[in-house]
Amino acid sequence: MNPNSTSRTSMPSRLLFSQQSEKWNSLFSNIRSFLLNAVLQVRILRKAYPGIMHFLIFWGVTIQVVGTAINLMQMELFVPFVELPFPRGSWYLAYELIMDLAGVAIVIGVAMAFFRRSVLHPKTLESRWDDLFALILLALIPLVGFTLESLRILTVEPVWSIWSPVGRALANLLAYLGMEASFASKLHPYFFWTHMSLGLILVASIPFTKMRHLILTPLNVIMHPKRKAGVLEIIENIEQAELLGVGQITEFSRSQLLSFDACVRCGRCEEVCPATLSGMSYSPRKFIKTHRETMLTTITYPNGKAEKQLLGGDISEEYPWVCTTCGACSNICPAFVNPIDEIIDLRRYQALTTGKLPKPVADVLRNMERQGNPWGMPAEERIAWANELNIKELTPGDSTDVLLFLGCALAYDERNKKVAQAFIRVLQNADVDFAYLGLDEACCGETARRLGHEYLYQMLAEQNIEVLSKVKFNRVVTQCPHCFNTLKNEYPQMGANFIVQHSTEFLAELTTFQSLGIKGSNGSRKQRLTFHDSCYLGRYNAIYKEPRSLLNMSNGNLVEMSRCIENSFCCGGGGGQMWMETDPNTRINHNRLAEVLDIQADIVTTACPYCLIMFDDAIRSKGLSEQLQVLDVVEVIDAQLAK
């Protein structure tokens, strides 16, 4: 039996168990996501100042709402026959103290928000009338509430007033200013109804202001698609599918429409978007905002406008082609809005429905259709780099421990051919049992999928899956993070489940068992190395430790750039951008190169062929070839073994 295949025994019972298990896993995943991100505010707290600010307001309002509900439940209007027996005694004292502290939290949080908007005013922070309205209302409710409490304390003078420290302090101030208990008693009803009215205004304004996020954002945290990061939605039964991409707002899924309303316009996505930061005419926030406005005018409002095409109207036909699909926006969004899904839907509409594609995109897709690779090189040249390397080539029925899936970049790009050759030397040095598919290996299809041609992707995936099913192996190892993400995370959508490792994972594993024979540093670390985290290796698959552990075995001094690990800045080559023509003044790879120069690195290393190409291009265009070198991690290991 093929070790990478799945047994079909007891299939009905296994399928039923799998479906039930999936339902429970989905439920637990939703609960966990809600608790972590809606209740504990984990994503919001990634940024200290706005995180603490929002945390104070959120928990202050939440406690006040719960406390007010408990208070109302004491009234006969809600409990006509039985008075709610809670809180009483010591519990009531704790209740008064907690309610006071919650009010203080709201006031501090709102003050921080006012200061942030009026003084700090971050560049990406958008201000509208409903932002000011919400802050004023949230400030007035606790302030009027504290005044109301102080009037009650001044009138009644309860013995427990020490447990309401803010109300008591304000009551003492009013008494010091000359207010008598009789006058406080007369004022109390006016402040009571004012406080009540403010609360009702808050509730009534939720659907019509930014405060709708109080309901919609937690709902989106629960309802957003739970696909693994970096995995696109598959078009099922694509041959018969009527909808190929999205051309009108009504064609988006319900979860996508919800996400448009859940966006709070905080601007965090713009702060990390490589296209926005490089000066391109693209903003993930404006992209989502445009969709929401279109949704309101065509779906939400009764007198909405007639349905119209998204592209060429509210969104230009070129707009979707700026995104690199790096995932930085979706990774940081506290509302779990993912603009990449909409970007791909629009690209699919252009690629599969209208055929109106930018020329570079059309050329690449034509190359893939005719030659089977984005470079447009003859298929027979796919293994030219392997001449004289004595690599075992698998044929149907053959077996091996490690199956190499090199991918198109390492097969056809001249610079990356050297990386492939270095990798082979490293594996041979470690006596690894490995082989490759030779000319039977096809493009994994990742480029076609990110460029919107889902049909071509599925054809290539099916071709590879058929070839892989005819050979036996224990794991697939690839050097390309784009191939890695596709084989590991997206091929399962097509029914193929393989053990897939990136080359850095595999080599780090070998070093654990002392198979590589690397002697390590000799103590003289002269060159400064830095590692660039590939978006598809790092942010999407959380592989950060392994490349660095390998580099630490070299004689270089590893230093980090300001943006690294999950906050790494894109090289500009993902999402099909490798093939796009860009303005020299807004090139993302030049932006990233500047960070390498800031830390005065001698060598920038990466573990992605696209990143290698983008850095090499930036270094050459800036005339820095003698000052700075770009290497793959595998090349560093190969050089270390050669010593």
Domains identified in the chain and CATH numbers: 44-219 (no CATH), 228-353 (1.10.1060), 365-512 (no CATH), 528-642 (3.40.50)
For the cut 90, the answer to whether the pLDDT of residue 3 exceeds it is: no
This prediction's pTM:
0.89
Q: Which residue has the tokens 């595998």?
A: 634
Task: Give the Cα separation of 438 and 387 in Å (integer).
Answer: 11
Buried b (16+ CB within 10 A) or exposed e, 89-110: eeeeeebbbbbbebbbbbbbbb
Residue 629 is classified by DSSP as E
Report, as an integer, the average pLDDT of 27-42.
87
Contact 453, 366 (CB under 8 A): no
Amino acid (one-letter) located at 242:
E
More confident residue, 160 or 620: 620
The two three-digit tokens of residue 421, written as one number: 């050759």
Per-residue pLDDT at 372: 93
Q: Which of 590, 432, 46 is nearest to 266 (CA)?
A: 46
The two three-digit tokens of residue 304, written as one number: 């909405």
Per-residue pLDDT at 77: 63
Dihedral over alpha carbons 12, 15, 16, 19 (to 10 degrees): -160
Phi-psi region of 376 (alpha: psi -120 to 50; beta: other; left: phi over 0): left
Per-residue pLDDT at 2: 47
Per-residue pLDDT at 124: 87
Per-residue pLDDT at 113: 96
CA distances from 521 to 544, 557, 605, 637, 643 (A): 21, 10, 17, 12, 11
Contact 217, 266 (CB under 8 A): no
More confident residue, 115 or 18: 115
More confident residue, 20 or 446: 446
Q: Which of 457, 279, 467 is nearest to 374 (CA)?
A: 457
More confident residue, 560 or 81: 560
What are the tens digits of pLDDT across the range 152-175?
999 998 888 899 999 999 999 999
Report, as an integer, the average pLDDT of 139-150.
95
> pLDDT grade, residue 9 (50/70/90)?
very low
Per-residue pLDDT at 515: 60
The two three-digit tokens of residue 252, written as one number: 């988006």
Q: Which residue has the tokens 């859940």?
A: 262
List, in order, residues 6 or more apart from 62 with CB less than 8 Å away.
none
Phi-psi region of 623 (alpha: psi -120 to 50; beta: other; left: phi over 0): left
Helix (H) or strand (E) segment spanning residue 53? helix 48-72
Per-residue pLDDT at 459: 96
Report, as an integer, the average pLDDT of 594-619.
96
Task: Give the Cα separation of 605 and 560 in Å (integer).
Answer: 11
The two three-digit tokens of residue 551, written as one number: 């580099």
Helix (H) or strand (E) segment spanning residue 401? strand 399-404
Report, as an integer, the average pLDDT of 334-354.
96
More confident residue, 556 or 222: 222
For the cut 80, the answer to whether the pLDDT of residue 513 exceeds it is: no
User: What average pLDDT does the structure give for the chain?
Assistant: 90
Report, as an integer, the average pLDDT of 344-359.
95
For the cut 50, the answer to whether the pLDDT of residue 389 exceeds it is: yes
For the cut 70, the answer to whether the pLDDT of residue 17 exceeds it is: no
Report, as an integer, the average pLDDT of 57-64.
94
Q: Which of 509, 582, 514, 520 is nearest to 553 (CA)?
A: 520
Count CB neighbours of 393 within 10 A.
Answer: 14
The two three-digit tokens of residue 464, written as one number: 């590879």
